[in-house]
Amino acid sequence: MRKTVRLTAVVLAVIMLAAVLTSCNKTPSDTAAFKQVAKEFDFEIYDITEQYINAPQIREATVVAPSGREFQIEFYVITDRDNAKNLYLAQSEVVDGYKNADYTGTSSNGKNYARRTVVTNGKYLMVSYIENTMVYVPPTDEENKEIIDKFLNKFKY
């Protein structure tokens, strides 16, 4: 009887540990899914991969924006996670450069992802990477935050 209880406790502990460890990972998306969500939002789609011909770590680069170009959302497919993380860290410095004493923001990190947002001086910025992909929202008016967040939630970034 004691062995059964002990075994059950060990099995439950392993299951809980597995749940915690798998929750630390996110599944990356791809350019096709990014474009599909953009179509659902009626955004214009631009392939800007050729602009990165001298950056071999960037395999694909796509920008989406509403027809009025009030803001844009950039999506990158990178050669590997290390390069994606390095690009994320570089863009994080840009995002953090906008901080002032009155900023609000969020930051989350996991085993294969990270996300950072900043809202300050009426501007909104966001950068996120998952595995070998990255999403970046350059500085835009804070009023665009709601639609951008809806897009990113639908895209799961």
pLDDT in tens, 72-91: 999 999 999 999 999 999 99
Q: Given a cut of 50, is residue 13 above it in pLDDT? A: no
When pLDDT is cut at 50, 70 and 90, the band that residue 10 belongs to is very low
Whole-number mean pLDDT of the chain?
Answer: 89
The domains located in the chain, with CATH, are: 26-155 (3.40.1000)
As a whole number of Å, the end-to-end CA separation of the chain is 47
pLDDT over 50 at 113, yes or no: yes
3 state DSSP class of 100: coil
Q: What would the mean pLDDT of 112-131 be, rounded to a whole number?
A: 96
Per residue in 32-74, pLDDT (tens digit) is 999 999 999 999 999 999 999 999 999 999 999 999 999 999 9
Q: DSSP letter at 69?
A: -
Q: What is the pLDDT of residue 24?
A: 77
Q: Residue 38: its pLDDT value, please?
A: 98
d(CA 3, CA 9): 10
Q: What is the pLDDT of residue 6?
A: 53
Sheet holding 58-65, edge to edge: 44-47, 58-65, 73-78, 133-141, 123-130, 113-120, 104-109
User: CA 18, CA 108: separation in Å to the nearest integer?
Assistant: 20
CA separation for the pair 14, 8 (Å, rounded): 10
DSSP state of 140: E
pLDDT exceeds cutoff 50 at 25: yes
Whether 3 has a pLDDT exceeding 70, the answer reads no
Which pLDDT score, from 0 to 100, does residue 101 have?
86
| Structure confidence at residue 16 as a pLDDT band (50, 70, 90) | very low
Token representation of residue 55? 């950056």
- Burial class for 94, CB neighbours closer than 10 Å (0-12, 13-18, 19+): middle
Please name the residues in contact with 119: beta carbons below 8 A apart, sequence gap of 6 or more: 103, 104, 105, 142, 145
